[in-house]
Amino acid sequence: MISRRDFLTISAATALATGLGGGLGRAAAAQSITQDDLLKFNSKGQVTLLHNTDCHAQLKPIFFREPSINLGVGEVKGLPPHITGAEFLERFGLKPETLEAYALTSENFTALAKNYGRVGGMDRIATLLKAIRAERGDKVLFLDGGDTLHGSFTTLQTGGGDMVKVMNALGCEAMTGHWEFTLGAERVKQIAEELECPFLASNVFDNEWEEEVFEHTAFFERGGVKVAVIGQAFPYTPIANPRWMIPSWSFGIREELVQKRVDAARAEGAELVVLLSHNGFDVDRKLASRVKGMDVVLTAHTHDAIPEPIKEGDTLLIATGSHGKFLSRLDVEVTNGRMSGYEYRLIPVLADAITPDPDLEKLITEIRSPFEAHLSTELGRTETLLYRRGNFNGTFDDLICQAMLEERDADLSFSPGTRWGATVLPGQAITWEDVYNMTAITYPNCYRIEMTGENLKLVLEDVADNLFNIDPYYQQGGDMVRVGGLGYTIDINKSIGSRISDMTLLKTGEPIDASRTYSVAGWASINEGTQGPPIWDVVAKYIKRKGVIDLAPNQSIKVVGA
């Protein structure tokens, strides 16, 4: 049987032979990056906070490319997380062509991916958790930021049951949510009962009785320190996702209520106050500037991976990325009831360097075995790097849009600017699992409707304001809606109604006519009763018909003011 060391050596040799190697491949082959290296840490203080978030039900290791464009506006322009690539590396003192460059940027991604391999895997995260718990004992508190029971075929088929088993096996001690709510109100309440930890959502209320639906705060004693964890679910859930799935619940940021929760936690003797948030980074940055008494905000939703804490006043903001790619470790020292020092590391979960935990490995095999044959079935192959992340387009979204144009015989197509979904490398097969990883939602119908040019512009303006409103409290944290068959110019610094111009129907080169009607295909409509085939069938049919996917660079969107 081939050993892991031999496998890495062979893989690196192959990369070198194909011109994709260099020092990186040799470093991986020699296992200069080991599990111990990933766990290396200068321990400090009485409390160790471990944070994972936005895994999107990815049980096994994957490839995941970070965005090459992540623009900020107003006061946050040019601040993390709104820097990418070489600028990101320079800002944090990181070297190109390293593990950090591979994990945190899109720079030279394909070559580095072939050298460093996949990231994530719940069995690898289990190994890291066990090692840190063995080191730190009763000081450890493991928290999950949500978007956990969503984003894969297995979690769609089991109503999140697969990830409930996994989170319980990992020993998660509290979590919050967002996409979990698209499983429907009754199922979410069941999940809260099935989890062996509190599901914290201090900002979710029953509309009829104005009562809290879930617990808002959980208290823990770690290393002799009383820790309060306040949960904050995604505040815009009924706007960004179907309200009809949660008709009796209201959400919102509820800034004054957050302050009330923090004050109450301090009054009950909390020496360390943690906000377990799914607000999105810029929303949490503003919240931390206005709510006093929070020591740590474990932020989520916008999938940002930042290798250092960002300090806002006396509050640390921790951004742990997504898809199981990272595990955050924050060691906190508490003196006289207040945080007095810390050490931090954003740990890349480099799959080939970490020994899978056998118990989690067995559980994952059991969960996936009924579906494995279907998931591994090839639909076609790709010559293009297929990814989703980016403010205006991703190549897998380009693929989805083109599939809708052709399979639904439409003039234009719209695909939501979501940030979840694993990456497929050039030369790889595209499997059913790859398609589900981009499309597995509970409202997948691919509709075909008629829209006027005027309404098309209104849609683009509305989504652009969600992304580029200078007030973070008006941002919902996704990316720009993806479009097929349509070109346009966007000025990100203008106000709503004025950002979008030069709309063009690509197949004719003609300007979009405000009064003309166009056929539009799309999916993930938040309207109840939307008709059409599931989007995964539309995309799979297209890939099968094409056989090989080779996309030209998308140059249909011109960005002004970046």
Output the domain CATH number for residue 399: 3.90.780.10
CATH number at residue 260: 3.60.21.10
Q: What is the pLDDT of residue 30?
A: 33
Q: Helix (H, G, I), strand (E, B), or coil: what is residue 144?
A: strand
22 within domain boundaries: no
Domain closes at, from 315, 349, 365: 365
Whether 413 and 555 share a structural domain: yes
Give dist(CA 204, CA 236) in Å, integer.
11
Same domain for 150 and 214, yes or no, is yes
203 and 128 fall within a common domain: yes
Same domain, 395 and 297: no
Give domain status of residue 12, yes or no. no
**Where in the sequence is the domain holding 171, given as residue range(s)?**
45-62+118-365
Same domain, 380 and 473: yes
Give the pLDDT confidence score for residue 92 in this predicted structure.
97
Q: Are residues 183 and 216 in the same domain?
A: yes
Note whether residue 481 is domain-resident: yes
pTM recorded for the entire structure = 0.94
Is 103 domain-assigned? Answer: no
Q: Is residue 307 domain-shared with residue 378, that is, in the same domain?
A: no
Per-residue pLDDT averaged across 491-509, rounded? 96
Q: Are residues 256 and 227 in the same domain?
A: yes
Asked if 384 and 402 sit in the same domain, the reply is: yes
- Stretch among 26-30, 155-159, 222-226, 399-403 having the lowest mean pLDDT: 26-30
Helix, strand, coil % (nearest 5) of the chain? Answer: 35, 25, 40
CB count, 10 Å around CB of 110? 16
- Would residue 458 count as lying in a domain? yes
Q: What is the mean pLDDT of the chain?
A: 94
Please state at what angle helix 185-194 crosses helix 161-170, rounded to 10 degrees. Answer: 30
Establish if 76 belongs to a structural domain. Answer: no
> Mean pLDDT, to the nearest integer, of 146-168?
98
Do 360 and 382 fall into the same domain? no
> pLDDT digit string (tens) for 467-495?
999 999 998 878 999 999 999 999 999 99
Q: Are residues 388 and 354 in the same domain?
A: no
Q: Output the pLDDT for position 562.
A: 82
Name 506's Cβ contacts closer than 8 Å, sequence gap at least 6.
Answer: 485, 486, 487, 556
Q: Do 324 and 408 belong together in one domain?
A: no
Total domains, the chain: 2
Q: pLDDT for 264-318, tens place per residue?
A: 999 999 999 999 999 999 999 999 999 999 999 999 999 999 999 999 999 999 9
Last residue of a domain, one of 365, 397, 417: 365
305, 338, 365 — which closes off a domain?
Answer: 365
In a domain, 96, yes or no: no
Please give the share of the chain, as a percent, with pLDDT higher than 90: 92
Strand partners, 412: 520
Measured CA angle at 263 (ends 344, 285), to 5 deg? 45
Task: Please report the pLDDT score of residue 177 as a whole number.
Answer: 98
Residue 504's pLDDT band, with cuts at 50, 70 and 90, is: very high
Asked if residue 200 is part of any domain, the answer here is: yes
Contact between residue 46 and residue 136 where contact means Cβ atoms under 8 Å apart: no
pLDDT at 424 over 80: yes
Kindly provide the b/e burial profile for residues 327-354, where b requires at least 16 CB atoms within 10 angstroms of the residue's own CB.
bbbbbbbbeeeebeebebbbbbbbbbbb
Give strand ranges (E) for 154-295.
174-175, 205-206, 217-222, 225-232, 249-250, 272-277
